[in-house]
Chains A and B, each alone.
Chain A
Amino acid sequence: MNRSLLILLAATAGGVALAGCGSPAAEYRRYETFAHKAAQDAGIEKLKASQLSEVDDLLAAFYGTPDEPAIPAVEDADIASVLSLPLLQMAAGPVGSDEQGRPRGLYREHCAHCHGITGDGNGPTAAFLNPYPRDYRPGKFKFKSTPVGGKPTHADLKKVLLEGVAGTAMPSFKLLTDIEVEALTQYVIYLSLRGETERELIRMQAELDLDSEPNARLVNIVTENATDEERQLQQEQMAAVKEKIATVVNKWTGAMDASVEIPPRPEMTPEELVESRKLGRTLFYGSIANCVKCHGDSALGDGQLTDYDDWTKEFIGEGKDPEVVAQYVALGLPEPRNIRPRNLRMGIYRGGMRPIDIYWRIRNGIEGTPMPAATMKPDGDPNAKGLTPDDIWHIVNYIESLPYESISNPNDAAERALERMRM
């Protein structure tokens, strides 16, 4: 019996090894989930294979391959301000280094096993991780200083790489050299641009009217003996594609200095701080901020446990239809998992531990997650509903005192925190 068990084991081990090694040279993976969704949205059954391969070709023309990245040549965007080719080349390609110790293939060395070659957050190790590694393609990032819908600044991304994300698998890369971190930061932007472009192109394909013109393409192929009109049309089509890419790029270039301004944290005496925390607590449980709805009565992060993040919700909605879920999982969506609001009694913040980081999270929300941006009071209307920057600082002060608050007797929390401070 032992012997047959052994043979079985050996065979499986060998099989696993071969399955892994049989994979071909690095290639970008197609955005199957989005192609399916775009087709559904457009009311067609699915995109034709020729349409998808045109998307692949256009992407390769503008962005190159995993081994040979390219910077898309579009006139209407200052792409050089976010990407530099030598740095991208350092991050792309197979792992190695030259005699000067200059590295190559940094992304594959450090990131691809989690985030995937394509940046689809679906590398080989991804299935085990919770939260899943980021899928860069929708262009959404959690920990940033810019408002919801905006791109992170360069500094925001770099901070994530340098500090990692506590309590998740996302490592800190502070032991890499500055130039390496820079190259990787740019490569994330590059993959994100490529992913967003892929979405745009797929959407364009889905909107083509194939019923009246079965062979319609995004960009026609012109032959030697094409007429001027045909050439003209092709150029217009190309211009339309480039315009889409420029829109995508401009979202990034525009974000580079778009951090939300933060009024300085008010100076407070210890007594004022106690008051501020009490105010913060009231807001936390109040109807405007309503933090309690998700983070729970005791702020243990147990209020709202059935929601999903946007990377999942985009495809499966509320996740009510198991068939839809199964369909997308088959197309490569990671098995949907509920997102849990943070346990705020831990005193650990994934997006950074500085008060200003917590302020940003509360002020701007956490993009891609249910955590909403604060409703701010419009300027000049004292009666309007909403929070002021000072209110947000009150909440920050309260959040920071939460780890010291007793769950059974929360009312003395502010005083107890004060005592600790004085000790």
Chain B
Amino acid sequence: MSQREIQRQSPWPHRLAVLLALVTFPLIWVGGLVTTYDAGMAVPDWPGTYGYNLFAYPWTTWVAGPWDLFIEHGHRLLGATAGLVAIALVIVTFLTEKRTVIRFAAAGALVLVVVQGALGGARVLLDARLVAMIHGCLGPAFFAYLAALIAATSCRPPSSERTAAPVSTLGPLARTAWILAALACGQLILGAVLRHIPYGATPQVFRIALVFHLVVAAAVVLQVGWTAVQAWPVGRQFRGLRSPSLALLALVALQIVLGLATYVAKYSWPAWFGDYQFAAAYVVEERSLHQALVTTAHVAGGSLILFTAVTLAMRSSLAAVSGESRAPSAHSQPASPFSALLWKRRTAL
């Protein structure tokens, strides 16, 4: 694909991928609320709602109904919308996009949406916590997948504005960012274990999960710091690398505060704060809006960190490959096999 071809490339796959991400993020919030309010079983059947077709369920009953029914049905409606957008994405991509990888990636998004919907249904029909947990983890994973898709379909791959690109520094940045994404992903799983802790589990299980959650949190902080250090110099030459790494710094700081706040909102202040007035007087209020918002924000924050990490990782990987293609004399390795595959034709130019 030549530079001109890229410029003629249809912007629609990219736009639809962005739209899909915009639908998915609130979906993660609402899904978090469903868990917070344990509303998952508010509607006992699936795919219908009380025998109605999903979209035909009387909206007055929905809006005026009980809160848990409201969010559970709302969750399903949003999910269905994501499905429709994903279908549109696949159609448009197959019509306008020539790169097989992108076509596959778009189709993959649709498959993931369908699987996620089916898992959600299985969660309702089987009422199984394990399914609920997988459903909860796949949501953010899909969101991260979209980050990659958005970066890959972008018409303006991050490119060097000057000629002498320090391509060699892009590879390490990409690697750090991918590791960060993996850490964020593991952290989401641990968080899900903490939230969905089965009632029959022993205190030991919870203890291990919580300790790991804290250890991985520390690792994420270090990794985010390291990405920022690496991204800063490279960002002078390449567009779109500094902003995600800055965003990561801010998100992680916020996420830590939200995590502590979540603990307090659920379990009150640890006993060693007991001699402070604010801690002694604190009463956990189950189901309060405060509690729900803090916990859900923490969950959504995790997804956003993963999303941003993948964005940064994809951009640096792609930039590395495009940098190589422009300076064929530099014999640096492709940053990742995936990006190499994606830009293969271009290097062959």
Contacts and interface: CB of A to CB of B under 8 A. Distances in A.
Contacts of A96: 41-42, 44, 127
B313 to A, nearest CB: 14
Nearest to A165: B283
B277 A125 contact: no
A16 B133 CA distance: 13
B186 A128 contact: no
A117 B197 CA distance: 13
A168 interface: yes
A125 B268 CA distance: 12
B198 A172 contact: no
Interface in A301-346: 334, 340, 343, 346
Contacts, number: 161
B22 interface: no
A343 B268 contact: no
B338 interface: no
Contacts of B286: 110, 171-173, 175-176
Contact of A98 (B44, B129, B205, B288): B44
B199 A26 contact: yes
A340 B127 CA distance: 42
A334 B203 CA distance: 9
Contacts of A21: 129-130, 133, 198
Interface residues of A, number: 61
B212 A130 contact: no
A113 B38 CA distance: 13
A108 interface: yes
Given A16-B190, A166-B282, A343-B274, A99 B268 contact: no
B284 A348 contact: no
Contact of B199 (A17, A108, A127, A172): A108
Interface in A89-144: 94-99, 101, 108-110, 112-113, 116-117, 122-131
A163 interface: yes
Sorting the interface of chain B by its residue count into under 10, 10 to 19, 20 to 34 or 35 or more gives 35 or more
A13 B266 CA distance: 23
Contacts of A340: 274
Nearest to B204: A127
A147 B42 CA distance: 43
Contact of A348 (B127, B199, B210, B280): B280
A96 B268 CA distance: 26
Contacts of A163: 283
A20 B201 CA distance: 6
Interface in B188-216: 189-190, 192-193, 196-210, 212, 216
A16 B280 contact: no
B283 to A, nearest CB: 4
B159 to A, nearest CB: 28
The A interface, classified by DSSP as helix, strand, loop or mixed, is loop
Contacts of A6: 179, 182-183, 186
Interface in A149-202: 163-176
A101 B65 contact: yes
Interface string A1-37: 0100010011011101101110110110000000000
B292 to A, nearest CB: 10
Contact of A97 (B41, B189, B206, B280): B41
Contacts of A13: 186, 189-190, 193, 212
B36 to A, nearest CB: 11
Interface string B266-294: 11111100110101111111111000000
Contacts of A175: 285-288
B68 interface: yes
Contacts of B59: none
Contacts of A164: 283-285
B27 interface: no
A172 B286 CA distance: 6
Contacts of A122: 203
Given A113-B199, A348-B280, 20 more contacts: A6-B186, A12-B212, A13-B190, A13-B193, A16-B205, A20-B193, A20-B198, A20-B201, A21-B129, A21-B130, A101-B42, A124-B203, A127-B203, A127-B204, A167-B281, A169-B267, A171-B283, A175-B285, A175-B286, A346-B281
Interface of A: 2, 6, 9-10, 12-14, 16-17, 19-21, 23-24, 26-27, 94-99, 101, 108-110, 112-113, 116-117, 122-131, 163-176, 300, 334, 340, 343, 346-348
12 contacts: A16-B209, A21-B129, A97-B41, A98-B44, A122-B203, A124-B206, A128-B207, A166-B281, A167-B283, A169-B268, A171-B283, A172-B285
Interface of B: 38, 41-42, 44, 50, 65-66, 68-69, 127, 129-130, 133, 179, 182-183, 186, 189-190, 192-193, 196-210, 212, 216, 266-271, 274-275, 277, 279-288
